[in-house]
Structure 1
Amino acid sequence: MVKAQDWLDQTYPKEGRNEIILIENDDTKKLCGKLILDDFFKLVELDLSHHNITKLDVSDCYDLEKIIFAHNSLTRLLNYPRDFVNPEKLNYLNIMNNNITKIDLGFFNRFINLETLFIGTDDREKIEQGFYNRFYGHLRSIKNLTKLEALDICSTDVSKGLIHLPDSLKEFFYEVYRPEAKVAKIKRKLEPFEGNVKKYKEDKLRKGSNKKLAEHIELEEVQEQTVEIKNLLIVGRTGNGKSALANVVSGSNRFKESDKSVSETRYFLDEIFTHNGEIYRVVDTIGMGDTRLSKNQVLLRKAEAVYTMKEGINQILFVVGRRFTKEEIEAFELLKKVIFESNIIKHTTIIRTNFTNFRNPDKCKVDRQELVEENKFLAEIINSCNGIIYVDNPPIEIECERRLLLNKEDREISRHRILTHLEGFQGNYKPYLKTWDQLYLKIRNYMKIKHDLEEALQSSNISSEEINKLKAKIEKLEAKVVGVTELRCDVEIPFFAKIK
C-alpha cells in the first residue's frame, strides 16, 4: 500500500495545486492513511474510490461539486465544522461502503443542490466484519433537497419520513444487507407499492385531506415510537437576531432575517430539524417591543404557538444583544416571580448574539462578568439559568464571496455550540401542566375547524355569498381562540403571557 498523502504530494506538487480542478482515481495503487487536500482551491471533482483511506480533509476546496469516495475506510465524514466550507456547491456525493461513525442524516440539509447522495452500505463482506456506514435519522431532515434525484441509504438506520422525500427523486435504494438495519422499516412500508415512493405518498395524501395532515400522520408515527419533539422557543427584543438564530439552529432559511430594529417576525414561525437522533422544533416569536400588532393579533399568535408546541417547551432561548436593554430588564423584572416559582428558569438559556469575539473564551468570560455586575436581578437570572452561550450569526445575503465563506463558518460554529449545549437537556416542560394541555385541546379544535373553512374558501365552485359566510365563521372562531387564549394563557400561564 502507498500512503495517500505521499501519493498526492508526488502526483500534484504544491506549487500547481491552486489550478487543479480534477483529481482522478489511480487504479494502479492502493492508497491508505489520511488525505488532506491543502491548497486545492479550485478543485471541482474528487474521484478516489476502492482504497483504504481513513481520513479526508477538503476544507480548502471551495469549489467542490462532485465527490466519489466509495469503498474506503473513512470513520468520520468531516472535521466539524471546518470541512465543506461551501456545501451549496456540492451536487454529487458518493461515500458508500465506508465505516463512518454515527451521523444524523440532518447533516446533509445544508447541501441544498445535491442531485445524488449515496451513503449506504451494500458490501456484505464488509458488513460481516462490522464495517459499514452508520447514518441514522429522519428523512424529514432532507426535505429541502429539492434537486435530489438519486438517494442510497442501504443498510443504514434511517427509518422514518418517507412522505417528506422530495418530489424530484427518481432513484431510491434502501436494501437491507445488514439484518438489524432500521431501514427495513422503510422497505416494509414500500413493499405494498412495489418500491414506488410516489405511489406511497399519493396513498398517504388520499388518506389525509392534504399534505399537512399527511405530515401529521408521520409525526404521530414518531410519537408512537416514544420519540419526542424538543421545542425550542426563541424570545427576545426585536433587532437582537432572533430570526438569524432560528435559521442557524435549524440549519434552514425559513425565518426572514433583518439587521433593522423593525421586527420581521409577525407570526410564530417554526421549523423542525434533527440532530444526533433527536427531533427539534425551533419556534420564533414576535419580538419584544413590536407594537404594530393589535392585542387580538398578539393573542392569535400566542394561540398558534401553543398549538405548535403541544409537547411543551424543552428550552427557552432568550436572545440578548450587546447589552441588556431597559425593556429586557423590565421584562425580566416582570417575570421574576413567575420564573422562579414555575421552574421555567431551569429550561432557559441566554444566547448572547452579535458577539464578534465569541471564539475567545477569555472575552466571553469578561463579558459575562460585566453582565452580572450590570444588574442584581440579572445576576440572579444568569446564575440560575442554564448559562450564557456566546455566538455570532453574521449575514449571508452578501456579495463578497470570501466574506460569505467566513460568515458561514461563524454560523456553523455557532450552531454547533448551541446544539452541543442543548444535547444535555431531556424532555419538555409544560408551564402549569393541566392548563397547558387544556388550552392546547381547545385551540386544536378551533384550528381544525378553521383549517376546514379556509380550505372551503379555496374551492372554485363557491359563490360570493358563501365566501362571506365562511369568512364570518372564521372571524367568530378567531374571536373564540382569542378569548380562550386571553383567559388561560394571559391569566393562568403568566410566564407565557409576558413573551410578546
Structure 2
Amino acid sequence: MSQEKFNNQYSNEKEIDIVGSKSIFDFFKSEFTKLEGSLKIEGFKNLEKFSLKDLKLNSLKINDCSQLNKVYLSELTKLASLTVRNCPRLTTDDCSLIKLTSLKSLTIINCSQFNKIFNLSLFPKLESLTIIECSTLTKFDYSSVRLTNLEISDCFQLNQITGFSKLPKLENLSVRNCPKLTKLDCSSTKTLIELEVSDLEELNCSNTSIDELSLNLCPNITKLTCLNNKKLNKLDLSNCSKLVFLDCTGSKLTSVDLSYCPESIKVEPSDQKRLIITRKIEKFRNILIVGRTGGGKSTLANVLTETSNFKESAYAVSQTKNFKKVDFKWNDKNFRVVDTIGVGDTKLSTENTLFKIAEGILSMPEGMNHVLYVIDGRFTGDEISTFNMIKDSIFKSGILDYVTIVRTKFSNFRNKGECETDMKKMREENELIAEIINSCNGVIHVDNPPINIIEEEDDDDYKDRILVNKNARKKSRKKVLDDLEEKNMDEHFKSENWDVLCNKIVEYIRNNNLQELEIDPDILKLSEEACLIL
C-alpha cells in the first residue's frame, strides 16, 4: 500500500478508523488493514479523529492536522518511531497510546496544548524523546528506564526539570531556549556524558560523566557546580561575564580560562596549585571554520594549527560533535582557530547544528577576523544552500567582507593560472555560485591530503606518500595564512548577543519548516559504513 493511495482515500475525511487484519477471512476487507512500514498523516485539514489498531507500522508521523483532537493508537507492536507535529488542538489527554511496546523514539513539535507529556513508563523501550515548541509545558518530571537522549527546546513556559534520578540511563541532555528555566540540577545523573544548555543562571552537573562542557549559550550564568566530575577535562566559559562562583573540586580539570569572567569570581578548589587559572585577555586573530560535514573543515583546522587536535573524517555523520578551538602563532602573531560542527550531519537536526555553530561563535566574545567557508571540490546545490543558510540564520549584514572560500582537494593549488581558471569555471557554471564568490573576500585553493594513512601489506611507498602529503599540507598552510595576513583584517566582526542570535535561528527554522530531522535509516547505515578517512 502506497502513501499516495492512503492520502487519496483519507485526506479529506473527518475520521479514520483502521484495524489490522489477522484472519484469512479478512481477505475482502480494505487493503489498508494491512498497513505496514512507514505512514504519514500529513496536512489532513478536516481530520478530527483517527484510530489505528493492530497494524505492522514501524514509523508514524502525524503532521499539520489543524482540527485533530482525538488519537487512538493500540497494539502497534512494531512501531519504533512516533512524531506528532503542528497539531494545535490536540492535548496529551486526547491521545490514547496502548501497547506501543517497541517505541524507541518519540518526537513532539509545536503542539501548543501539550501542557504535559505522556506517561513514559508506557513505552518500555523508549530511548529518545524530543520536545520542541510546546508552549504550555511548564515542568518535566517523568520516569523512563531506557531513555538515553532527551532534547527540550523552545518551550517558553517551562520553568522546572526534575526527576533525573528516574532516568537512570540518560546519556545526552539538551535544554535550549527555555528562558524561564533558570536553574538546572542534573547532579544525580551519573551516566550523563553530553550536556547542552542555554539561558541558565545556575547549573549543577556534579557527579556526571561529562568530559567537555561549554556554557557560552548561558551569558547570564552566575553559579556553576561540577563537583567530582572525574572525566571533565575541558570547560569553556568565554561568554560567561556574570559568573561569580565556580566549584570544580574533584574534576579532571587542570586548567580553566576565566579571562572573560568577573575578577571577583570565587573558585573552588581554593588550592590553585592543582588548577591553573588564566585571567589575561590576549589579542588574537580569530578564524572561524564552517562548511558541510566531510568537506575538510577539521583537516584544514589541523593544517593551520599544525596539530592533530581536530578529528578528520569524511563520514556523513560529523566527527566534530562540538566546536573546538586551538591557538597558534604565525609570523609572531597570535591566531585562534574555531572549528564548528559540519552542516548536513545525518544524526542532527538543522536547528541543533545551527545552535552548535552559534556556540562556537560565542566562544569568541571579541569577534571574528576571518570566516573560512570550506568546500570539497566544486560548488554543489548543497554547498550553495548551506552557505546561504549559515549567512541568513546566524550572521548579520557585513559578514561577507570577512568570508573567504577555501576550495580543498585541488592538486594544482600552487599554480596561480590553474586556480584562476577554476574560479572562472565556477563563476560561469551558475549565477548563484558567481554571486557567492563575488560577494566574498576571495577564494583560496588548497590540497590537504591525508597523513593518517593505514599501512597495508606490500605497501612499499607508504612512508613516501606520507612525506609527500605532509609537504602538500605545509604549503597549503602557508598559502592560507599568507593570504589571510595580506587581507590585514585586524578589526573584529562581532556577532549579535545570544538572545538575538537565538531568535534569528528559531525564526529561520520556523520560516523554512526545518524543525524535524528527516533521515532514512538505511541511508544513515550506508553512510556510516562507506566512509573514507581524509
Normalized per residue, the structure richer in strand is 2
Check whether TM > 0.5: no
Question: Taking CA–CA contacts closer than 8 Å with sequence separation of 6 or more, which of the two structures ends up with the larger relative contact order?
Answer: 1
TM-score by length of 2: 0.40
Structure (1 or 2) with the greater helix fraction: 1
